Amino acid sequence: MQNPKTIIITGASSGIGAALALYYAGSGVALGLTGRDAARLEAVANACQRKGASVEARVISVTDRARMAEWIGAFHARHGVLDLVIANAGISGGTGGTPTAGEDPDQVRALFATNVDGVLNTVEPALPIMAAQKAGQIAIMSSLASFGPWPGAPAYGATKAAVRLYGEALAGSVRNKGIEVSVICPGFVRSNMTAVNDYPMPFLMDADRAAARIATGLAVGRVRVAFPWPAYVIAGFLGFLPPEWSTRWLAKLPEKPQSR
């Protein structure tokens, strides 16, 4: 969508979410921002207001289905239109430091609750609003990790694969309703989430640059916005390989730290 004016972004207190909020902020733009860290979210909201945007910032967990539906509905009621919803909120974690085989069971469930249920809790309330408008765009944050079986982060990769397939299928399902759906698949982006990784991160990108890439892809309605292209090619190749080969090779890579 070109030049959206009413925008909801989850996970906006840091990283890509904060960078997207600042990218879109400007005169005549109404932003609805959620995040878990009240102080950081307030700082992002203030920065967006200084750029001329109207901002509503709320500390809401995307795992709270009822509160998310209520807030999205209220935001739409106040502004009369909903142009763009970016389901960005997510957490990461892997098998690093786990004393037993596999991942910590509580971490696995937390990853699915935030990265999958949180996306559904953001997208589902927006769909009937946009269908009634016969216009609007949904953007879902996935990852290049969704393309391959990463033994160091089984649950994280699975959650990102789930929302990628959901979003890409949804794009075809709601196209005739006037709704665009885009799935965002970034590689390593400098953020609090990647700061805990104690291994090399090829093609590491600043959040501001990632936000610009994402906004460019959303503006032209791409169903999949994947970057940087060298990492995308590698991830796609690994996903194409038989799992008997890819899992053996990927098992040699460092484990992703547990969520913090």
Q: Where are the domains of the chain?
A: 6-250
- pLDDT by residue (tens digit) across 83-104? 999 999 999 876 555 556 668 8
pLDDT higher than threshold 60 for residue 169: yes
Taking each helix axis as running N to C, give the angle between helix 65-79 and helix 118-133, from 0 to 180 degrees, rounded to the nearest 10. Answer: 30
> Within 13 A of 77's CA, how many CA atoms are on the CB side?
7
Residue type, position 136, single letter: G
Contact between 107 and 155 under an 8 Å Cβ cutoff? The reply is yes
Token pair for residue 192?
Answer: 């609090």
Active site residues: 156
| Rounded Cα gap, residues 170 and 182, in angstroms | 9
DSSP class of 125? H
Average pLDDT, the chain: 89
| Rounded Cα gap, residues 174 and 240, in angstroms | 28
Instruction: Report percent pLDDT > 90 for the chain.
Output: 70
| Rounded Cα gap, residues 183 and 58, in angstroms | 24
Domain 6-250 has CATH 2.40.50.100: no
pLDDT at 197: 58
Q: Burial of 32 by CB count in 10 Å (0-12 exposed, 13-18 middle, 19+ buried)?
A: buried
- pLDDT by residue (tens digit) across 205-257? 899 999 999 999 999 999 999 999 888 898 888 778 777 766 766 666 555 55
User: Which residues, 6 or more positions from 46, have their beta carbon under 8 angstroms from its beta carbon?
Assistant: none
pLDDT at 231: 87
Token pair for residue 142?
Answer: 């996935």
Q: Mean pLDDT across the stretch 60-71?
A: 98
User: Which residues, 6 or more positions from 158, have their beta carbon under 8 angstroms from its beta carbon?
Assistant: 112
DSSP codes of every residue in 161-204 = HHHHHHHHHHHHHHGGGTEEEEEEEE--B-SHHHHT--S--TT-
